[in-house]
Structure 1
Amino acid sequence: MNSQFAYDKKHPIILSSKHPFTKSLFINEHERLLHSGPKQTLNSIRDQFWPIGGQNLSKQTVRQCITCFKAYPKSIQNLLGHLPLDRVKAHPPFTVVGTDYCGPFVIKDRKGRGSNLSKCYVCLFVCFSTKAIHLEPVTDLSSEAFILCLRRFASSRGMPSKFYLTMVEHIVVLSPNL
């Protein structure tokens, strides 16, 4: 009542959001403002008109605008594979472990001239609940070398209740009884 604004601003024309005139008014205003967002479009219209349900109509107008759709496409979310139950459950660290090898690495047996070069590998133990890793050096890819590596791991971290061994073709799940 005591506002300094003009009469038309203080008492805007009430419009129904379902009427075709109101819809075309929103489309025209959205394009006039160079494809502005829903809030700016609604605020510009509210200078002269008061649309009932204007927020929903403004959002609908921007969503149906082909130019805005092309300018701001929705990115596609990658579908993730289903994780094993052991990966989702909370366990103490290194209770459920996945193992893999990396390498080969070339190492010297000593510094200086006449040193011999040999291959070595690294056995990678990954905790399923915390994603922590433990690295153990391995001399070769034999099962005896892996058992020795597993014993070194178990002496420092404790024996895991379940292993996931990665192979080229498939994953093998073991429950250790060493």
Structure 2
Amino acid sequence: MKRLILMVAMAIAFRATAMDRREARAEARYLTDRMAYELGLSPREYDRMYEINYRYLRGVNTYDDLYASRWRNRNIALRAFFSDRQWQLYLGADYFYRPLSWRDGAFVRNVYARHPRRPMPSYGELRRYHRPVAPRCERRRDWYRHHDHDFDRHRGPGRHHHHDRDWFSMEPIL
């Protein structure tokens, strides 16, 4: 009997767990594609929107997280770069404004009520995940022959090389 109760409790607990990283990326990508199509986002806005949606989806673990601080922070961040027209469209589309809801003890993705999952034109890969392209001078074959390879000279307090970047968060590494 104890095993049965424990198994039922675990089934309920695991049913309402957060998305794993791969699922959150796929859902954020789909949601962002739809938002870009309906709201007319630029490529720069698309990248930022994807990151905001991903952080929100990744941070929702329980029913209490649906409209808590991450949801408010998401809306504040989106308001910062949306035009007035885009913001009004966003508020009018409840499936964008509230991308997740709770029904029958599980998360529901509201965008599928309006847009069933089907192939659509995608905006391509996110730009920041591409390999950075070297400046023209570094692509020449003889560039490395004429440059000092003492890379440690750029290290130390307050001294950062221009290539020292965390390409996923786009913030300098300190």
Bin for the TM-score computed over the shorter chain: under 0.3
Normalised by the length of structure 1, the TM-score is: 0.21
Higher percent of residues as helix:
2
Normalised by the length of structure 2, the TM-score is: 0.21
Give the structure, 1 or 2, with the largest relative contact order (CA under 8 Å, sep 6 or more): 2
